[in-house]
Structure 1
Amino acid sequence: MNAAAAAAGPAAATEILHDPDRRLWLLSGPRTSYLIALREHDILVNLYWGPRISLADAAEISDGHLAGGASSFGAAGDGREEYPVDGGPRFAQPALAVQRGTVRGIEWTHRGASAEGTGLRLDFHDAGHALDIALHYRLRPGHDILERWTELTYHGAPAAPEEFTAADAPLELLRADAAAWPVPARDGYRLSRLHGRWAAETQLTRGPLARGTTVLASRYGHTSHAENPWFALDDGTADEEHGEVWSAALAWSGSWRIAVQQLSNDAVQAVGGPGHDDSGVARLEPGESYTSPVFAGLYSDGGHGAASRAWHAWQRAHIVPDADQVRPVLYNSWEATGFDLTEQGQKDLATLAAGLGVELFTTDDGWFGERVNDRAGLGDWTPNPDRFPDGLAPLAEHVRSLGMKFGIWVEPEMVNPDSELYRAHPEWAQHRPGRRRTEMRNQLVLNVAREDVQEYLFQQLDALLSSAPIDFVKWDMNRPFTDAGWPGEPYPRRLYLDHTRGVYRIMDRLRSAHPGLAIESCSGGGGRIDLGVLQRTDQVWTSDNTDPLDRLTIQHGFSQIYPARVMCAWATDSPNWLNGRVTSQRYRMRSAMAGVLGLGGDLTECSEEELAELAERVAEYKTVRHLVQLGELYRLRGTGDGTTVVEYAAADGAEAVVLGWRQGPHFGASAPRVRLRGLDASARYRTADGKAEHSGSVLMRHGLELAELKGEELSSTLVHLVRV
């Protein structure tokens, strides 16, 4: 057992307990508890979210909870409700708002509860709208992440009073969030969020939570570069290893909104779900149901570092496919060839890549249709006959013969006006009648909400994957929605929801039809990274920005919620294509070693010495990749002072790897010393090269000097420690 686990003590069993007299439920993970209870008018409130407590403790908390605090300008339940609805004396942001005919508002009654294993379902009913509302909770054994989602079923039967509309009238879901997260009262709150833009994704920002409503959202039609659907709250004192942190993440890859509210009664609550505004999510006909995506939450009293490690472990165990297997070292041909690719040129690159120890060779854009530039070909997913006269099979078989897997780039949701697909089906592109079709990057967005579009894309991609031994697909999306219209559709707003569902459906069908297929999520870099897409992809493209120094900041923010196991990072040529920065090959490679290592430079321009060093660095990465991708992450030094240090430790403390980067020694500063985490204090550790040996206690309490970070500008280090 490592030091962190020993200090925390043994984990308790995951369980859901019920006190029927007090109408409360206590959901407990290994180290945390979440307490909810029904109050007057069947209002469901949160009474506690923090370190694990007993049912007796829960009863005492419930008995001491007083409803008071209401006035003509406030409601007692504001900020404490588990699922605030539009209607009645509520002034917080509602999670659910519906309209049937001209009637709005929800008045529910509790219908019952059922628990199965570590899952809980609470049922409510609104008689006026003939609407069933089921609130779902789930804890996975061994994890403290609480998964929540909501299911709505509309029956269509009218009820008194008479002003309710006809039985067959549809019910519009103006807002249908997954959950609300009430946060316990503290003296102050600090909000952590991930914002950014293209080439500058997942920038971590922490600052005081403003009173009122802070909205995190995407109206882009995908997760977006601008915001990521995750947030964390603390009282302003939490650091990497100490303090209380509450965080939540939405598992959705389309437009979304999370509203974090600090109300006039000082309560803090966040609601979140699909859709960027209140103009409508879905419309239900009688007998139809809607199920929201999961909105997952976590409490940790071990600071932001422990929260990240809990998120990572849960995703590797229950979200990411095959996450117990390390991802291969990848080479991508884009920066070497751009659109100017040939079958022989790709074979030559593959031969060079195999000599470096690369395990997955990927041919990027330009292999299909009339795709000789970015103005044509999207939508025509058959190999270009001039470049690949016999299809992709000869190239794929050559790659396989070199001992590597073979992958391709696709952008299924897009279409160029100059394509066979668009000429045959211009109506398949998102557009609004009488309005200009906005082109970005010379392309339009297909309406993947349409079932015929879904079927076309599946058939095209299925045939492609069946035509050659293709192991990997880089699924890109290089522009957002702009003209999200659907002529002829009675409820065109559903495009936002059903486009994303359609993408999920195609991915799921392809994985089922082609066992072993791996998918990388890409959207102009990191524009589609979230817990929803990660359920059906093996890794994500973190950013188009491959500058190794910029990437450290991007990767730091990424690691707050997402594990290194899914973070694809490339080492490319110097000077960097984006900003012209000149860096050493060692620095570039070690920056990329913090995740799933990829190479993306032009290997044909490398000298023999450069190729030899690349091979050496690939071999170096392979000795520690099991720790990077599957180990526990400790952020030892952030990016604020120009020095970044991360540690990946085995869960049992048997070994660890320390990666460090420094912009340069300032004012004659000495080499940094970092105190490690997650080791066995009673053991001794030897560096993998056999040159040094250290006490685990000394490494954690006194620290490890990173001598390689004392010298030149943009220096890096890698120290692999193994328990003796």
Structure 2
Amino acid sequence: MSIQFNKNTNSFLLNTPSSSYIIRIYDNRYVLHGGWISRIDDWDDDICSMPLIDRAFAPVPEELHGKADFSLNSLQQEFPTNGRSDFRIGAFEALCADGTTISEFFYESHKIYKGKTPIKGLPATYTKKDSEADSLELNLKDPVTGISVTLIYTVWNDRDVICRRTVVKNDSVSAEGIYKNQSVTLRRVMSASLDFMTSRYKMLQLSGAHARERHAIWRPLVPGIQSIESRRGTSSHQQNPFIALADYNATETTGEVFGFNLVYSGNFTAGVEVDQFNMSRVQIGLDPYNFNWKLDAGETFESPEVVMVYSNKGLGQLSRTYHDLYRDNMCRGEWQYKERPIVINNWEATYFSFNAEKLFKLADKAKEEGIELFVLDDGWFGKRDDDRSSLGDWYVNTKKLTGGLEEIADGIHKRGMKFGLWFEPEMISPDSDLYRAHSDWCLHVDSRSRTLGRHQLVLDLSRDEVVDYLTETLSKILSSVAIDYVKWDFNRSQTEVASGSASPENQGKTSHKYYLGLYRLLENVTSRFPHVLFESCSGGGGRFDPAFLYYMPQCWTSDNTDGLSRLAIQGGTSIAYPSSAMSCHVSAVPNHQTGRITMLSERGHCAMAGSFGYELDLNKLSQPELQEIKEQVELYKKIRHTVQFGDLYRLRTPWDEPSPAESTDYTAWNLVSKDKKQAVLTVVWKFPEGNPETQLVKLAGLDPKAKYRLTCYKSATIRAMLADFPFPIPESEFAPFPADVTTSGEKLMNAGLFIPYKPQYGGSVQIVLERL
């Protein structure tokens, strides 16, 4: 098994293919961390364990008073607590019956078994067969309060992945005195806490804002606390529930990197505390903000899961490990491995102003271009002519759609396309029939006014009756017409997070219970309609997290569809999430979010980094633009499987700084099919200068012994533009090398391709490689 217990050293060894995670039991009570390192198989002695050192002013537990070198304040721990000699932030805090928050957990027992157990009410990675992973349950207990904690570790046998979570039980029936059979209030429960012996790392976080999500931010660790969190009731545009620690000199291909990704969609915290001895404590879990969980005697609380990934081959290998795990063991259902259809969404083409005639006119043009799925976005329901009304009234706006949804769905299907529909189920408008009937169904505090965001309120999904109502309402719509795709949106952060059905002592549960309710709703709806492709959205990428991938295999990456903006957004997203999960569209120019004008070919190349589509009015385009879209669609169908399910290699990232000698900044990546028969290289110049240097791009992931044919596709709009030049442009100017050139994978990876910047490329080049 990948998990072993050594009785001689009283320690556990958790081995992935490339790493070892060590847990030590000291004095048969204290659970200490022994390191997360490159793999070892011999651990019959403690020679490499952190030594006990007598530190100045270090408090020592009374029962070990004769051992001045044992202090929790200077040791690596597996699940630290507050108030008992460790002055760093603990992984656990509870308000006990005596009004104190002191707790201390000692080792009681353990269990090792094959496979992986699910988490009640929460999404998590899963095994398809028990042989994929082994699990360890470490049972700890506070002998005073009777609170027990079980630390659960799952080690994947063929992946460098360890999943962690925490289960807390109020077992106070075994306590004595004032603690016996008393409730406790949980205030902090981390899913994982991990102490590194050094602070010689860079911390990576994915941060931004609406329309600027998940930019990769690097910073060296310094003494004190460096952390990220969301208090918005979502995993958020501003911070993603992911951090990583990397060697100072780590690159895409070299160095150790440790990743931590929380499988949760609500408030979270993740950070690193560097102490006086330059040890680094990493913690990730539910944010303590607005979290107070009253746990009665006999009750259990389960934390979300953390997916921890190790790489000793740089950030790129860490990313590919996350990608494969999430595609294989997080996503589920009919669309897990199915190629995603090419989309046309009417939102930026029509916004709220549409009728059946306008929609069918757009669909007819999309069909001519070879597009496969037509999505009707916001505005089809209630009296929805703007964003000020009707959320919650999920019935058809017959003034706009006189023939109902049936007419639209049937008309789209008769054109040979799939039909999709937009919902925002978690919201309610004050101007709605649902609000007039159930004004107490939103998150609110009775004594305070209600804050509106985007003119709307948030439904209280901590209430079972609201979840049941939404389950039946959505099911009725999805059953009434043939719907192939659903875009599930969420367009405001949560405020007044309280429930009209909760007692005062249980209001602190509302934030987390909301997500337990949401996950129940998602499970209900997606299981009832397994053929539907569900895509999550939250004002763009405001809830792009692994928990949603459990229910929906792709996510709208950002409301910002500007190609150059998407380089940083998609690049940062790709650090933890697979290409198949990134929904990427081509939109009109000037771009609606940035005002920037870029070539259609460049927008297409950027959008072909994920699940592909369009969000513009095709009827307003020129003939060369329509011809190019048709060619883009034909090309994407040829490379779709490689893009969505292949291996990603970032060759030049948006966060790489150009050297002083470079005049041109560019981004480059290639995607390689699992069988290495096909690859797609994309190079995008972000800020080209006049007469710049030639770029040398070395590919990765190819079969070094194979021969590949390289084809660079040409832009119809650029061909048309250059045809108007007062002097002829040779055909050779359209590509960086002759058509159908052939060379070896070894040369492409070791020698590389010279790709000069030329305006004739339109700011980007895409090259498809086919193995001969």
TM-score (norm 2): 0.88
Counterpart Cα distance in 2 of 1:70 and 1:450: 52
Counterpart Cα distance in 1 of 2:611 and 2:101: 49
Counterpart Cα distance in 1 of 2:340 and 2:603: 19
Report the CA distance between 1:543 and its aligned residue: 0.7
Q: Does 1:255 align with 2:304?
A: no
Q: Find the counterpart in structure 1 of residue 215 from structure 2.
A: 203
Report the CA distance between 1:555 and its aligned residue: 1.0
1:464 to 455, 477, 502: 477
SS of the equivalent of 2:4 reads strand
1:82 to 78, 83, 98: 78
Instruction: Please show how residues 330-369 of structure 1 align to structure 2 within 5 Å.
Output: 330-369=343-382
SS of the equivalent of 1:367 reads coil
Instruction: Please show how residues 389-428 of structure 1 align to structure 2 within 5 Å.
Output: 389-428=402-441
**32-41 or 683-692: bigger deviation:** 683-692
SS of the equivalent of 1:335 reads helix
Counterpart Cα distance in 1 of 2:14 and 2:415: 52
The answer to whether the Cα contact below 8 Å between 2:164 and 2:192 also exists between their aligned partners in 1 is yes
Percent identical pairs in the alignment equals 33
Q: Does 1:722 align with 2:722?
A: no
Aligned residues: 703
Which letter does structure 1 place at the counterpart of 2:168? Answer: L
Cα deviations by residue, 1:542-581 (Å, 9 ceiling, x for unpaired): 1111111111111111111111110011100111112221
**142-151 or 680-689: bigger deviation:** 680-689
SS of the equivalent of 1:123 reads strand
Report the CA distance between 1:675 and its aligned residue: 0.8
In the superposition, relative to structure 1, how do residues 184 and 703 fare at CA in structure 2: closer, same or farther (>3 Å)? farther
Q: Find the counterpart in structure 2 of residue 234 from structure 1.
A: 246
Report the CA distance between 1:655 and its aligned residue: 2.4
Cα deviations by residue, 1:608-640 (Å, 9 ceiling, x for unpaired): 332221111111112112111111111111224
Cα deviations by residue, 1:443-483 (Å, 9 ceiling, x for unpaired): 11111111111111111111111111112111111110121
Q: Find the counterpart in structure 1 of residue 399 from structure 2.
A: 386
The answer to whether the Cα contact below 8 Å between 2:462 and 2:499 also exists between their aligned partners in 1 is no
The answer to whether the Cα contact below 8 Å between 2:187 and 2:288 also exists between their aligned partners in 1 is no
Q: Find the counterpart in structure 1 of residue 724 from structure 2.
A: none
Q: Find the counterpart in structure 2 of residue 290 from structure 1.
A: 301
Instruction: Please show how residues 687-698 of structure 1 align to structure 2 within 5 Å.
Output: 687-688=710-711, 691-698=740-747
Report the CA distance between 1:680 and its aligned residue: 1.8
Q: Find the counterpart in structure 1 of residue 237 from structure 2.
A: 225
Cα deviations by residue, 1:103-153 (Å, 9 ceiling, x for unpaired): 432222322111111111111122332222111011233111110001112
Report the CA distance between 1:320 and its aligned residue: 1.9
Cα deviations by residue, 1:157-191 (Å, 9 ceiling, x for unpaired): 2623x3x2452x322111111111223436x2211
In the superposition, relative to structure 1, how do residues 78 and 625 fare at CA in structure 2: closer, same or farther (>3 Å)? farther
The answer to whether the Cα contact below 8 Å between 1:211 and 1:262 also exists between their aligned partners in 2 is yes
Q: Does 1:319 align with 2:306?
A: no
In the superposition, relative to structure 1, how do residues 159 and 64 fare at CA in structure 2: closer, same or farther (>3 Å)? closer
The answer to whether the Cα contact below 8 Å between 2:19 and 2:40 also exists between their aligned partners in 1 is yes
Report the CA distance between 1:250 and its aligned residue: 0.8
2:686 to 663, 678, 682: 663
Report the CA distance between 1:48 and its aligned residue: 2.1
Q: Find the counterpart in structure 2 of residue 701 from structure 1.
A: 750
Counterpart Cα distance in 1 of 2:73 and 2:11: 16
Instruction: Please show how residues 270-309 of structure 1 align to structure 2 within 5 Å.
Output: 270-277=282-289, 280-309=291-320
SS of the equivalent of 1:512 reads helix
Counterpart Cα distance in 1 of 2:54 and 2:163: 30
2:135 to 109, 119, 133: 119
Instruction: Please show how residues 167-178 of structure 1 align to structure 2 within 5 Å.
Output: 167=181, 169-178=182-191
SS of the equivalent of 1:104 reads coil
1:478 to 491, 507, 520: 491
Q: Find the counterpart in structure 2 of residue 128 from structure 1.
A: 144
**478-487 or 387-396: bigger deviation:** 387-396
Counterpart Cα distance in 2 of 1:712 and 1:436: 58
SS of the equivalent of 1:532 reads helix
The answer to whether the Cα contact below 8 Å between 1:198 and 1:525 also exists between their aligned partners in 2 is yes
**150-159 or 234-243: bigger deviation:** 150-159
Q: Find the counterpart in structure 1 of residue 8 from structure 2.
A: 21
Q: Does 1:520 align with 2:535?
A: yes
The answer to whether the Cα contact below 8 Å between 1:42 and 1:110 also exists between their aligned partners in 2 is yes
In the superposition, relative to structure 1, how do residues 344 and 144 fare at CA in structure 2: closer, same or farther (>3 Å)? same
In the superposition, relative to structure 1, how do residues 452 and 703 fare at CA in structure 2: closer, same or farther (>3 Å)? same
The answer to whether the Cα contact below 8 Å between 1:646 and 1:660 also exists between their aligned partners in 2 is yes
Counterpart Cα distance in 2 of 1:231 and 1:305: 15
Which letter does structure 1 place at the counterpart of 2:355? Answer: T
Which letter does structure 2 place at the counterpart of 1:493? Answer: G
Cα deviations by residue, 1:327-371 (Å, 9 ceiling, x for unpaired): 111111101111112123222222221222222211000001111
The answer to whether the Cα contact below 8 Å between 1:185 and 1:268 also exists between their aligned partners in 2 is yes
Q: Find the counterpart in structure 2 of residue 185 from structure 1.
A: 198
Counterpart Cα distance in 2 of 1:481 and 1:450: 16
Which letter does structure 1 place at the counterpart of 2:606? Answer: S
Instruction: Please show how residues 616-631 of structure 1 align to structure 2 within 5 Å.
Output: 616-631=631-646
2:674 to 646, 651, 670: 651
Report the CA distance between 1:18 and its aligned residue: 1.4
Cα deviations by residue, 1:72-117 (Å, 9 ceiling, x for unpaired): 3474455621111224111221111112221432222322111111
Counterpart Cα distance in 2 of 1:79 and 1:269: 11
Cα deviations by residue, 1:226-254 (Å, 9 ceiling, x for unpaired): 11111111231111111111111111100
SS of the equivalent of 2:535 reads strand
The answer to whether the Cα contact below 8 Å between 1:281 and 1:497 also exists between their aligned partners in 2 is no
SS of the equivalent of 2:546 reads coil
Counterpart Cα distance in 2 of 1:466 and 1:221: 31
In the superposition, relative to structure 1, how do residues 286 and 276 fare at CA in structure 2: closer, same or farther (>3 Å)? closer
The answer to whether the Cα contact below 8 Å between 1:79 and 1:268 also exists between their aligned partners in 2 is no
SS of the equivalent of 2:558 reads coil
Report the CA distance between 1:259 and its aligned residue: 2.6
Which letter does structure 1 place at the counterpart of 2:746? Answer: S
Counterpart Cα distance in 1 of 2:51 and 2:324: 38
Report the CA distance between 1:683 and its aligned residue: 1.9
Counterpart Cα distance in 2 of 1:696 and 1:596: 27
Counterpart Cα distance in 1 of 2:513 and 2:749: 50
Counterpart Cα distance in 1 of 2:179 and 2:194: 33
Counterpart Cα distance in 1 of 2:401 and 2:75: 60
Q: Find the counterpart in structure 2 of residue 107 from structure 1.
A: 104
Counterpart Cα distance in 2 of 1:184 and 1:347: 63
Report the CA distance between 1:62 and its aligned residue: 6.1
Counterpart Cα distance in 2 of 1:358 and 1:181: 48
Cα deviations by residue, 1:297-351 (Å, 9 ceiling, x for unpaired): 1221111111111111111111123432221111111011111121232222222
Report the CA distance between 1:71 and its aligned residue: 4.1
Q: Find the counterpart in structure 2 of residue 508 from structure 1.
A: 523
**352-361 or 406-415: bigger deviation:** 352-361
Instruction: Please show how residues 52-63 of structure 1 align to structure 2 within 5 Å.
Output: 52-54=39-41, 56=42, 58-61=43-46
Counterpart Cα distance in 2 of 1:415 and 1:449: 15
Counterpart Cα distance in 2 of 1:80 and 1:515: 46
In the superposition, relative to structure 1, how do residues 543 and 64 fare at CA in structure 2: closer, same or farther (>3 Å)? closer
Q: Find the counterpart in structure 1 of residue 153 from structure 2.
A: 137
In the superposition, relative to structure 1, how do residues 350 and 620 fare at CA in structure 2: closer, same or farther (>3 Å)? same
